[in-house]
Amino acid sequence: MRPSDKKQDFAERVGERRSGRPDERRFLDGQLLIAMPSMLDQRFARSVIYLCAHSEEGAMGIVVNQAARVRNF
């Protein structure tokens, strides 16, 4: 199974648990992502990320449990 297939399978399972129907919720916008303790990428280690947008085109989130390094957007 390719990594992209795993992500799709996970999104479908999350949607199925939330609604009881498999294809009603395919995306994770409005959800929190919590980094696993084994996360090695320091950009995301110990992070909680709120997903503002998630679609077939990509995803955008905000780290909500760490101070921002850049304060002017």
Q: C-alpha distances in angstroms, 39 versus 44, 55, 57?
A: 7, 24, 24
pLDDT on residue 68: 82
Closest by alpha carbon to 10, among 32, 26, 30, 29? 26
* Annotated domain spans of the chain: 3-63
pLDDT on residue 7: 61
Question: Is the confidence at residue 60, as pLDDT, over 60?
Answer: yes
Strand order in the sheet with 32-34: 32-34, 48-55, 58-63
**Beta strand segments in the chain, E:** 32-34, 48-55, 58-63
Q: Tell me the sheet residues that pair with 43.
A: none
pLDDT on residue 32: 96
At residue 27 the predicted structure's pLDDT band, cuts being 50, 70 and 90, is: very high
Coil, strand or helix at 43: coil
25/38: higher pLDDT = 38
Residue 9, token pair as written in the block: 């399978």
At residue 11 the predicted structure's pLDDT band, cuts being 50, 70 and 90, is: low
pLDDT on residue 67: 87
